[in-house]
């Protein structure tokens, strides 16, 4: 059997096992162990635990549970609601200001939590009811939060980027910096669409009211005094201190990414203890339980994905697949388009973590040979995977929204996120035309490679 035939069988068996309903971690582990049994020396089965341990014995991966702890500390407290309320107070006068407030709140929360589902849950639980109460259509309100939540895997600290840095053997600091420019660009694009859509819905509501119909909450004027706005600022200050402290520690060279994750977790715990009085064991229990559960789940997926990749490499599947892609002699940009299309299709079924670890051995060598900057590609790939978080059939953020707003029909949520998928696609095109959006900041701060 040729290596490409073996690779095709490997992929087909993987899809079959995943569609059987088996959890992703166990599916990947079962396929890897099965192929080790049939196609590798018998002694290789004795080294499964050793291989998984050696693949995961990375100081960079140590930062993942610590970043999860930081996100859980913020997500399980009233921090998301307070952050959203403060931003809303300052943006309410702008047309579509409530939508902008939700986008900005999602961005800031994502930059602290590093998790898309946590961002959706924390900001959406307060933001969606507020938007609907003020006349926003259910699909629009859901779409803003679902799309804003995707920023959790683009804005640093991002667990997805940590895994990409490990898989691609790239600097995590450069990768984090490279995500800031595109992240700000997406925030502005999302906010611009929020203004456009809100104005359109306002005009529709006004036309209905002037025609003798019911008065929409869109037409009610909300007012906050300057003193009320100033009173809201202290709610944002702790978040700014937390974000600034982590960024200075990481990019100032004072701490490694793992040490920075520990610092962020410690600052988050201190923040919720001082501001929200969460320090008793019974109050901390949900935070610690959530951290352990999510960390164990994620590290199981990582460990089994790395074992899966190890088997691919040992059987020369990844090398043969990479050579086959190179042998197609595709032009540079057609090669990129084909690879990104593959990532989009995989995003229909798999989370970003699995996509990165499963595809990295195959797609990165041809891209590097074609002259692409792997830091830049990491950002492009992350945005493409963001689309996977909000488009069916998996669309993790869609189901998070359904959980916090069960009365919004799934059809409305899906149609609500589609414009944001288009905006992400436009962002990818802009990054292809202007790669400096991603790579200029790392070059300025850390020097050109």
The DSSP code sequence of 125-175 is: HHHHHHHHHTT--HHHHHHHHHHHHGGGGTSSS-HHHHHHHHHHT--HHHH
Bigger pLDDT: 394 vs 9: 9
Where do the domains of the chain lie? 60-298+395-424+432-438
On the question of pLDDT at 429 being above 80, the answer is yes
Q: Which CA distances in Å does 180 have to 110, 120, 173, 190, 418? A: 12, 20, 11, 15, 24
Per the listing, tokens 């992703």 go with 24
Tell me the average pLDDT across 307-325.
Answer: 79
On the question of pLDDT at 262 being above 70, the answer is yes
- Tens digit of pLDDT for each residue in 348-384? 767 788 788 878 888 888 898 889 999 999 999 999 9
Tokens of 231: 């009173």
pLDDT for the residue 306? 80
**Cut 0.85: pTM above it:** no
Mean pLDDT of the chain: 83
pLDDT for the residue 382? 92
Per the listing, tokens 């035939």 go with 5
Of 26, 337, 179, the C-alpha closest to 345 is: 337
């Amino acid at each position: 059997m040729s290596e490409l035939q073996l690779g095709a069988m490997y992929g087909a068996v993987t899809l079959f096992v995943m569609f059987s309903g088996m959890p992703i971690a166990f599916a990947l582990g079962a396929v890897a162990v099965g192929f080790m049994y049939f196609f590798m020396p018998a002694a290789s089965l004795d080294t499964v635990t050793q291989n998984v341990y050696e693949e995961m014995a990375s100081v960079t991966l140590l930062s993942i549970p610590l970043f999860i702890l930081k996100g859980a500390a913020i997500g399980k407290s009233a921090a998301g609601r307070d952050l959203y309320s403060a931003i809303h107070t300052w943006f309410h006068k702008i047309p579509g200001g409530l939508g902008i407030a939700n986008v900005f709140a999602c961005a800031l929360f994502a930059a602290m939590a590093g998790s898309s589902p946590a961002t959706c849950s924390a900001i959406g639980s307060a933001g969606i009811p507020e938007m609907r109460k003020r006349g926003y259509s259910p699909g629009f309100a859901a779409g803003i939060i679902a799309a804003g939540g995707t920023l959790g895997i683009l804005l640093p600290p991002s667990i997805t980027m940590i895994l990409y840095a490990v898989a691609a053997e790239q600097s995590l600091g450069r990768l984090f910096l490279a995500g800031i420019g595109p992240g700000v660009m997406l925030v502005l694009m999302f906010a611009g669409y929020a203004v456009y859509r809100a104005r359109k819905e306002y005009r529709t509501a006004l036309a209905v009211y002037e025609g003798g119909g019911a008065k929409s909450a869109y037409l009610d004027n909300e007012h906050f005094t300057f003193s009320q706005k100033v009173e809201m600022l202290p709610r944002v200050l702790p978040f700014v201190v937390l974000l600034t402290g982590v960024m200075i520690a990481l990019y100032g060279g004072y701490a490694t990414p793992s040490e920075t994750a520990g610092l962020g977790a410690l600052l988050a715990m201190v923040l919720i203890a001082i501001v929200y009085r969460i320090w008793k064991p019974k109050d901390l229990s949900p935070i610690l339980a959530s951290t352990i559960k999510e960390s164990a789940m994620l590290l199981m997926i990582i460990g089994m994905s790395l074992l899966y990749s190890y088997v691919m490499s040992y059987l020369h599947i990844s090398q043969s697949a990479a050579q086959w892609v190179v042998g197609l002699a595709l032009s540079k940009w057609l090669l990129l388009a084909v690879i990104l299309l593959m990532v989009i299709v995989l995003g229909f079924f798999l989370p970003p973590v699995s996509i990165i670890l499963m595809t990295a051995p195959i797609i990165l060598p041809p891209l590097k040979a074609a002259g692409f900057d792997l830091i830049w590609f990491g950002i492009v790939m992350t945005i493409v995977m963001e689309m996977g978080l909000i488009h069916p059939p998996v669309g993790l953020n869609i189901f998070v929204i359904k959980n916090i707003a069960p009365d919004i029909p799934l059809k409305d949520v899906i149609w609500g996120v589609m414009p944001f998928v288009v905006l992400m696609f436009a962002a990818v095109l802009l990054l292809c035309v202007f790669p400096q959006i991603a790579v200029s900041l790392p070059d300025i701060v850390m020097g050109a490679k």
